[in-house]
Structure 1
Amino acid sequence: MANFIGIDVGSVTTKVVLIDQKENILFDTYLRTEGGPIQAIQRAFRQLYEQLGEVEVAGVGTTGSGRRLAGIMVGADIVKNEITAHAVAARWVEPKVGTVIDIGGQDSKIIFFQNGVPIGFNMNTVCAAGTGSFLDHQAVRLGIPIEQFGEYALKSTNPIKIAGRCGVFAESDLIHKQQMGYKKEDLIAGLCLALVGNYLANVARGRKIEPVVLFQGGVAANIGMRAAFEQRLGMEIVVPGPFKVMGALGAALLAKRNYERRRQPSKFRGAASIASFTCIPRTFTCDDCPNNCEVNEVYIAGELVSRWGSRCGKWNNLNLSSADRSENRWGTGLKISRSS
Structure 2
Amino acid sequence: MPSLNVLPSPRRDDLIVGLDIGSTTVKAVVVNPATDEILWQDYQRHETRQLEKCLEFMKRLEADFPGSIPHRARIFTTGSGGGTVGEFVGAKFVQEVNAVSLAVEKLYPQTGSVIELGGQDAKIIIFKEIDDTGRKKKIPSMNDKCAGGTGAVIDKIAAKLKIPPAELCRQSYDGITLHPVAGKCGVFAETDVNSLQKSGVPRHELMASLFESIIQQNLSVLTRGHTLRPVVLLLGGPNTFIKGMVECWKHNIALLWKERNVPLPEGVDPGDLIMAPDDAQYFAALGAVEFGKREEPSIGTCTGCEKLEWYLNQGREEERKIQGGQGLYKTEDELQGFIRKYTPKKFTPPRFSPGQVVEGFIGIDGGSTSTKAVMIDREKKLLLKAYQLSKGNPIEDTKDMFAKLRQQVEEQGA
Would the alpha carbon gap of residues 82 and 148 (structure 1) be closer, same or farther in structure 2, given more than 3 Å must change? same
Matched, 1:330 2:362: no
SS of alignment partner, residue 97 of structure 2: helix
Check the 8 A contact 1:156/1:186 in 2, yes or no.
Answer: no
Instruction: Measure, in 2, the Cα distance between the counterparts of 1:134 and 1:158.
Output: 20
1:303-332 CA-partner distances (Å, limit 9, x unpaired) = x9xxxxxxxxxxxxxxxxxxxxxx995241
SS of alignment partner, residue 120 of structure 1: strand
Percent of matched pairs sharing the same residue: 30
SS of alignment partner, residue 278 of structure 2: coil
Instruction: Measure, in 1, the Cα distance between the counterparts of 2:248 and 2:111.
Output: 20
Match of 2:310 in 1: 278
1:176-214 CA-partner distances (Å, limit 9, x unpaired) = 111111122112111111111011112223320001111
Q: Which moved more, 1:235-244 or 1:81-90?
A: 235-244
1:35-70 CA-partner distances (Å, limit 9, x unpaired) = 222211111122223333342544221111112212
Instruction: Measure, in 2, the Cα distance between the counterparts of 1:54 and 1:218.
Output: 32
Would the alpha carbon gap of residues 23 and 164 (structure 1) be closer, same or farther in structure 2, given more than 3 Å must change? same
Code of the residue aligned with 1:8 in structure 2: it is D
Q: Counterparts of 1:193-204 in structure 2 under 5 Å?
A: 193-204=212-223
Match of 1:95 in 2: 109
Match of 2:192 in 1: 173
Check the 8 A contact 1:7/1:17 in 2, yes or no.
Answer: yes
Would the alpha carbon gap of residues 333 and 201 (structure 1) be closer, same or farther in structure 2, given more than 3 Å must change? farther
Instruction: Measure, in 2, the Cα distance between the counterparts of 1:183 and 1:266.
Output: 51
Instruction: Measure, in 1, the Cα distance between the counterparts of 2:313 and 2:90.
Output: 15
1:66-88 CA-partner distances (Å, limit 9, x unpaired) = 12212111111x32111101111
Instruction: Measure, in 1, the Cα distance between the counterparts of 2:307 and 2:192.
Output: 46
Check the 8 A contact 1:58/1:265 in 2, yes or no.
Answer: no
Check the 8 A contact 1:18/1:26 in 2, yes or no.
Answer: yes
| Gap regions ≥5 residues in structure 2 | 1-12, 130-134, 255-269, 327-414
Check the 8 A contact 2:21/2:27 in 1, yes or no.
Answer: yes
Match of 2:367 in 1: none
Matched, 1:11 2:23: yes
Q: Counterparts of 1:223-262 in structure 2 under 5 Å?
A: 223-234=243-254, 235-236=270-271, 237-258=274-295, 262=296
Match of 1:73 in 2: 88
SS of alignment partner, residue 197 of structure 1: helix
Would the alpha carbon gap of residues 266 and 198 (structure 1) be closer, same or farther in structure 2, given more than 3 Å must change? closer
Would the alpha carbon gap of residues 210 and 231 (structure 1) be closer, same or farther in structure 2, given more than 3 Å must change? same
Check the 8 A contact 2:76/2:300 in 1, yes or no.
Answer: no
Matched, 1:83 2:97: yes
TM superposition shift of 1:130: 3.0
Match of 2:37 among 6, 17, 24: 24
Match of 2:225 in 1: 206
TM superposition shift of 1:157: 3.2
Match of 1:312 in 2: none
Which 4+ stretches in 1 moved above 6 angstroms? none
Instruction: Measure, in 2, the Cα distance between the counterparts of 1:227 and 1:66.
Output: 31
1:253-303 CA-partner distances (Å, limit 9, x unpaired) = 111111xxx2337521136x578x322499xxxxxxxxxxxxxxxx59x9x
Q: Which moved more, 1:150-159 or 1:194-203?
A: 150-159
Q: Counterparts of 1:124-203 in structure 2 under 5 Å?
A: 124=143, 126-154=145-173, 157-203=176-222
Match of 2:142 among 109, 113, 123: 123
Would the alpha carbon gap of residues 127 and 274 (structure 1) be closer, same or farther in structure 2, given more than 3 Å must change? closer
* TM-score normalised by L of structure 1: 0.77
* TM-score normalised by L of structure 2: 0.64
Would the alpha carbon gap of residues 159 and 25 (structure 1) be closer, same or farther in structure 2, given more than 3 Å must change? same
Instruction: Measure, in 2, the Cα distance between the counterparts of 1:120 and 1:113.
Output: 6
Match of 2:396 in 1: none
Check the 8 A contact 1:124/1:202 in 2, yes or no.
Answer: no
Code of the residue aligned with 1:61 in structure 2: it is F
SS of alignment partner, residue 65 of structure 1: coil
Match of 1:269 in 2: 303
Check the 8 A contact 1:111/1:118 in 2, yes or no.
Answer: no
